[in-house]
Structure 1
Amino acid sequence: MPRRRDWHELPEKLRRQIEQRTGAVHAAYSVPTGASCDLAAVVDTDTGRVFCKGGETEGLAAWLYRNEARVNPWLPDGAPRLHWTVEAEGWLILGFEYVAGRHPDLAPGSPDLTAVADLLTAQSRLLTPSPPVQVQRFADRWRGLIAPGLVDGDTLLHTDMTPRNFLVADRLRLVDWSSPARGAAWIDTALMLVRLVRAGHPPAEAEAWAAQIPTWAHASDEALYAFADGLVCLWERKQRSTPGPHHGPLLRAACEWRGHRATRKSR
């Protein structure tokens, strides 16, 4: 993850260009966790609060900022709107609608689970067929992990179902669309299911939760087993290459789900 920069560390010319969009900046509060970017900050300006994120255009994450800027105009209302982009002095900064909220609780019995299911239901409906925006095919991203035909589809997917990307505010919001893909409509639900297993749901109960999302019925048993197996391989690879505190728990959750799927497959 890039070293998180504070607002005052940005080049002066870049800050001036941002203030041409926002009016004077009165205060800026760095966001220490979450988005993998050089800058993530809540900025108080003459025109109100803005959430700013971005980084150096030659950095490893620069393509993620461009992804998010490109896809935002096509997203449903649940995604905070992108108000402006500023590129100067070797930096690209995105200015978003500011949303105050908390992250949802995914534990068994949480009242937030219904809102998450409702959001995924609405999102898959509104983003199928995918809007005409250039994004990677999910089958290409997972090349070597799963047979392409099992995950192909024409839905615009988010693909990063960490609870940190959801905000419970006036309604549930889904943020950080930096890794969009085009694929089968059930994929985001499957990715969220593994987060539920990590949060303490037995796999069978997590699948029962997923069943309330209509697109889940479109996933075959073959596709779900292959997807679970692909997730295990993916998290094993990440654990070896860039060990992180969340990799182990997600790998264990994926293994639990694959085990459940294997049991169903053998019946």
Structure 2
Amino acid sequence: MVPSALIDVGWHAWVLHTVDYAEYCDRIGRFVHRVFCKGVRADRPYAWTHRNEAAVAPFLPASLAPALLWSFVQDGWHMLGFEYVPGRYPSLSPTSGDLDVIGDLVVTMAEALTPCPSAALHSIADRWGAAPGWAAVYAKLPTDLDPWARAHIGVLAMLERGAFLDGDTLVHSDLHPANMLTRDDRVSLLRFDGHLRCGGQAASAASYSTGVR
């Protein structure tokens, strides 16, 4: 993977100015061997996802995600640097041994990320509130609706709202394998830019369970 021109300049600046790099490592309290860098043009509509990631990262325990090392905007780019975490993408196959540790991750998130940090820029309702769930079915009440569903539609809509959309937990709305890394019987969140939002605790479990196949 070829780095962008901005990252290439920054990397070679550290190589050429090792004393400055050593002082920087002293300031952050550790020597950084490798980092994961990502950036986006700050004027792009989706640049808010980087701002959200930078805002919520300091609230994530080390057991859940790599540490945010820096966040800055320069020359029109918003750049983030994260601790390098080795590992592999987990498997969501029904017979995979990774399912248990991902389940543990979801439970840990619910415990460690409640209440939701006020720094989070969006909620689950912002993303899923308009989705055609039970509330949308309740509003239309189609004639071919299953009798059991018709009899319980009001309760289903209420449960859907309470379990997923309303809540005070920082949840992940896309627990896709490409957004996680597993190593040593533990899983870390790898990509959480626009996916970490305030909502009901069941939202993380729902986004994970839909990928099991």
TM-score, with length taken from structure 1: 0.57
Q: Which residue of 2 aligns with 1:190?
A: 206
1:55–1:91: 8 Å Cα contact kept in structure 2? yes
Distance of aligned partners of 1:7 and 1:110 in 2 relative to their CA distance in 1, 3 Å threshold: same
Q: Aligned-pair RMSD on alpha carbons? A: 2.3
Paired letter, 2:51: R
Between the aligned partners of 2:57 and 2:82, the Cα distance in structure 1 is 10
| Counterpart among 3, 19, 24 of residue 7 in structure 1 | 3
Between the aligned partners of 2:117 and 2:41, the Cα distance in structure 1 is 28
Between the aligned partners of 1:134 and 1:97, the Cα distance in structure 2 is 21
Q: Which residue of 2 aligns with 1:152?
A: 166
Q: Which residue of 2 aligns with 1:143?
A: 129
CA deviations 1:189-212 (Å, max 9, x no partner) are: 01111101xx2xxxxxxxxxxxxx
Q: Which residue of 2 aligns with 1:123?
A: 109
| Counterpart among 70, 95, 99 of residue 84 in structure 1 | 70
Between the aligned partners of 1:95 and 1:76, the Cα distance in structure 2 is 17
Between the aligned partners of 2:67 and 2:7, the Cα distance in structure 1 is 25
Structure possessing the higher relative contact order (Cα contacts under 8 Å, 6 or more residues apart): 2
1:137–1:181: 8 Å Cα contact kept in structure 2? yes
2:120–2:198: 8 Å Cα contact kept in structure 1? no
Between the aligned partners of 1:130 and 1:11, the Cα distance in structure 2 is 33
Superposed displacement of residue 168, structure 1: 0.9
Q: Which residue of 1 aligns with 2:53?
A: 68
Query: Structure 1 residue 167 and structure 2 residue 181: aligned?
Result: yes
Q: Which residue of 2 aligns with 1:176?
A: 191
2:172–2:203: 8 Å Cα contact kept in structure 1? no
Between the aligned partners of 1:136 and 1:183, the Cα distance in structure 2 is 9
Calculate percent identity across the aligned residue pairs: 38
Paired letter, 1:178: D
Between the aligned partners of 1:144 and 1:49, the Cα distance in structure 2 is 41
Superposed displacement of residue 10, structure 1: 2.5
Larger radius of gyration: 2
Superposed displacement of residue 60, structure 1: 3.2
Between the aligned partners of 2:189 and 2:4, the Cα distance in structure 1 is 28
Distance of aligned partners of 1:10 and 1:190 in 2 relative to their CA distance in 1, 3 Å threshold: same
Distance of aligned partners of 1:52 and 1:183 in 2 relative to their CA distance in 1, 3 Å threshold: same
Superposed displacement of residue 102, structure 1: 0.4
- Structure 1 stretches of 5 or more lacking a match? 26-45, 200-267
Superposed displacement of residue 99, structure 1: 0.7
1:157–1:187: 8 Å Cα contact kept in structure 2? yes
Between the aligned partners of 2:33 and 2:15, the Cα distance in structure 1 is 10
CA deviations 1:70-115 (Å, max 9, x no partner) are: 1000012221000012321111110000011101111121111111
| Matched residues, number | 168
- Structure 2 stretches of 5 or more lacking a match? 17-30, 136-159
The runs of 4+ residues in structure 1 deviating greater than 3 Å are: 146-150
Between the aligned partners of 2:205 and 2:161, the Cα distance in structure 1 is 18
Between the aligned partners of 1:120 and 1:19, the Cα distance in structure 2 is 39
Query: Structure 1 residue 48 and structure 2 residue 44: aligned?
Result: no
